[in-house]
């Protein structure tokens, strides 16, 4: 992901990308800090952060890594797509690819997603992928629905 660091900062220049994330990453200094913390990832090597490319251009970001929010470092997935590429299923495709990688190839026992209660498009995306809503809690400085995907159920 290192070669996409500047691209990720540019991607987050759109305030819509972080409006529900608890920090305004349209501030390039904050976005750079977010990128640095992703680049400093030192968890299991098969997990981590992925750049979402379309025809070689960076259009989004996804991660599948031990959660810092849920107990026991449970595997947590997340997705981001530039607004100008939204509404065509690209984020769904990227998230589904990572979900299938985690469940089928890495044989994870569960994959978790924390989605802000007001993030309607992300909640629809999770439902499309077959995530089960299992509760609600305060995460990333705001109310989030807790979702899980289990092998054989998505
Ligand atoms: C969350 C986010 C990725 C969703 O983007 P998105 O454009 O809705 O997602 P997709 O690219 O998968 O597109 C899905 C939409 O395209 C439509 N669509 C069209 N063709 C499609 C296809 N072939 N497959 C799936 N969906 C398709 C879907 O119906 C859906 O529209 P709907 O939500 O109105 O029902 C995006 O809003 C974002 O990055 N937000 C900021 C970051 C963020 O909040 N991340 C989530 C943190 S948990």
Span 18-29, pLDDT tens digits? 999 888 999 999
62 close to ligand 1 (CB < 6 Angstrom): no
Give 87-92's long-range contacts (Cβ < 8 A, gap of 24+).
Answer: 90/52, 90/54, 90/59, 90/60, 91/52, 91/60, 91/125, 92/125, 92/128, 92/129
Q: Is the CB of 89 under 6 A from ligand 1?
A: yes
Nearest-CA residue for ligand 1 atom 37 is 121
Determine the average pLDDT of the residues in 3-8: 94
Global pTM? 0.96
Q: Which atom of ligand 1 is nearest to the CA of 93?
A: 12
Superfamily of domain 2-149: Gcn5-related N-acetyltransferase (GNAT) (3.40.630.30)
Instruction: Using the mean position of ligand 1's atoms as its centre, give its distance from the Cα of residue 128 in Å.
Output: 10
pLDDT at 133 over 80: yes
Looking at residue 151, its pLDDT comes to 96
Does position 2 have pLDDT exceeding 90, yes or no?
Answer: no
Residue 19 near ligand 1, beta carbon < 6 Å:
no
Check pLDDT > 90 for residue 122.
yes
């Amino acid at each position: 992901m290192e070669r996409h660091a500047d691209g990720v900062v540019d991607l987050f220049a759109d305030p819509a990308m972080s409006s529900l994330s608890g920090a305004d990453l349209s501030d390039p200094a904050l976005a750079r800090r977010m990128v640095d913390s992703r680049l400093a990832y030192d968890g299991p090597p098969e997990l981590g952060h992925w750049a979402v490319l379309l025809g070689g251009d960076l259009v989004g970001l996804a991660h599948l890594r031990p959660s810092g929010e849920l107990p026991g470092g449970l595997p947590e997935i997340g997705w981001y797509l530039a607004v100008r590429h939204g509404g065509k299923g690209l984020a769904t495709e990227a998230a589904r690819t990572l979900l299938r990688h985690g469940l089928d190839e890495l044989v994870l026992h569960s994959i978790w997603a924390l989605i802000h209660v007001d993030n309607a498009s992300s909640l629809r995306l999770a439902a499309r992928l077959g995530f089960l809503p299992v509760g609600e809690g305060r995460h990333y400085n705001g109310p989030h629905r807790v979702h899980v995907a289990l092998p054989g159920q998505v």
